Amino acid sequence: MASGILDLLPQGRYNRERDRPDGCAPRGSGIVTSVPDSPLIACFGEGLVALVPTTAGPLESNRTFQRSLAGAEWNVALAVASAGSRAAVVSRVGADGFGRFLLAELSEHGVDASAVEIDPAAPTGLYVKELSVEAEGAAPPRGGMQSAMHYYRAGSAGSRISPATLHTPAAERVLAEAALVHTTGITPALSDGARAAQDELFADRGDRLTSFDVNWRPALWQGREEEAREVLGGYVAAADVAQCSEQDAEAVFGTGDPERLRALFPGPRHLVITRDDGATAFDGTERADAPAVPATVVEKIGAGDAFAAGFLAGVLSGLSLSGCVARANRIATRALGSTRDHVD
């Protein structure tokens, strides 16, 4: 029997008015939520529209879906803004209703969308989420619904990201102002042009920091797994801040052990390995381990992006390593309480 999603949502766990950073307005207020003088974090990658069913069950049984913003880098941008820092997105969307929806969502959350190009020919990418509830007696990590994602992004506007995307007047302004640029392993898998653009961001970074989250998507690298290990490993090694889930690290690099990963990748100043039950972070040789914050879990998709946003905001705020992890854990819990991929 299908389960109503609204019945699974926690009540009273997060009070948006009480827990929002000082000086930040609630979503939908029309006021930019970030602190004006905070460092700018620019997020580079494809935005997607997610169609999320209102009940769990096979897609053929679902009649009603809710649309939501998605895309790893865009999720990070929204979480950065929700944490009180300034965020911008550099990307492309289609000249269609879904593209206009994504731009409106960025604006409503206080994210700078000026560097998002509108492609007159290619559509905005989307994916459909399929939800299932664990059988009675099963104990998935930290509980919650299980998800399967069905992507419809081939030939999308986001897949047509190229080095030219970085050289529009708006993108050049955003990148010149950014203290940090956040990227993932999804973008270089989309197309040769998208990979070339990400390579340029790493090669021509100037004084800004570069953040990279592996975000392993095996379907995007099908038949190119060895190439993926080399490409993604290269980005990790070159980043100032690198993040990977334990599961993704095992799939791509053959180990999820934090010490072994640190030995493999000594280059990034900050290396973060996330798990369902917590996280391990390095700042040089310093190590911090922290358990996950107790939370009611509806679904886990997007929690890693929220964690990344909290950690990056902490780094730019000058927090200690343990402080960065604590802030990241707190923000990640906010993505666990709904079937959306992002925090509000």
What are the tens digits of pLDDT across the range 46-90?
999 999 999 999 999 999 999 999 999 999 999 999 988 999 999
d(CA 324, CA 328): 6
- Return phi, psi of residue 184, to 5°: -140, 175
Question: CB-based burial of residue 117 (10 Å sphere; 0-12 exposed, 13-18 middle, 19+ buried)?
Answer: middle
How far, in Å, CA of 224 to CA of 173, rounded?
A: 35
Backbone angles phi, psi at 307, to 5 degrees: -60, -45
CA distance 119 to 99: 9
- Comparing 143 with 24, the larger pLDDT belongs to 143
Q: How confident is the model at residue 297 (pLDDT cuts 50, 70, 90)?
A: confident
Pairing between β-strand 48-53 and β-strand 112-119 as defined by DSSP bridges: unpaired
DSSP state of 149: E
Cα distances (Å, whole numbers) of residue 295 to 3, 7, 200: 20, 16, 39
pLDDT reported for residue 34:
59
User: How many residues can be counted in the chain?
Assistant: 344
Phi (first) and psi of residue 293, to 5 degrees: -75, 130
Q: Which residue in the block uniquely carries the two structure tokens 């917590």?
A: 278
Q: In what order do the strands lie in the sheet with 126-132?
A: 65-70, 48-53, 126-132, 146-152
* Centroid of chain to Cα 114: 19
The tens digit of pLDDT for each residue in 158-173 reads 999 999 999 999 999 9
241-245, strands of its sheet edge to edge: 112-119, 86-94, 40-44, 180-184, 209-213, 241-245, 270-275, 278-283, 286-291
Strand, helix or coil at 217?
A: coil
pLDDT of residue 24: 41
Assess whether pLDDT exceeds 90 at residue 178.
Answer: yes
Domain limits, the chain: 35-44+72-117+161-334
**pLDDT for residue 232 is more than 70:** yes
H or E element in which residue 270 lies: strand 270-275
Domain at 35-44+72-117+161-334: CATH architecture: 3-Layer(aba) Sandwich (3.40)
237 vs 265: CA distance, rounded Å: 6
Whether 305 is catalytic is: yes
pLDDT in tens, 234-272: 999 999 999 999 999 999 999 999 999 999 999 999 999
Token readout for 5 is: 């999603």
b/e 45-55 (16+ beta carbons within 10 angstroms → b): bbbbbbbbbeb
Check 283, 305, 341, 344 and give the catalytic one.
305
What is the pairing mode between strands 286-291 and 278-283? antiparallel
DSSP states of 226-245 as a string?
Answer: HHHHHHHHHHHHH-SEEEEE
User: Cβ(74)–Cβ(47) under 8 Å?
Assistant: yes
Over residues 314-320, the mean pLDDT reads 96
Contact 100, 48 (CB under 8 A): no
Bridge partners of residue 88, in order along the sequence: 42, 112
Average pLDDT over residues 1-5: 35
CB atoms closer than 10 angstroms to residue 187: 26
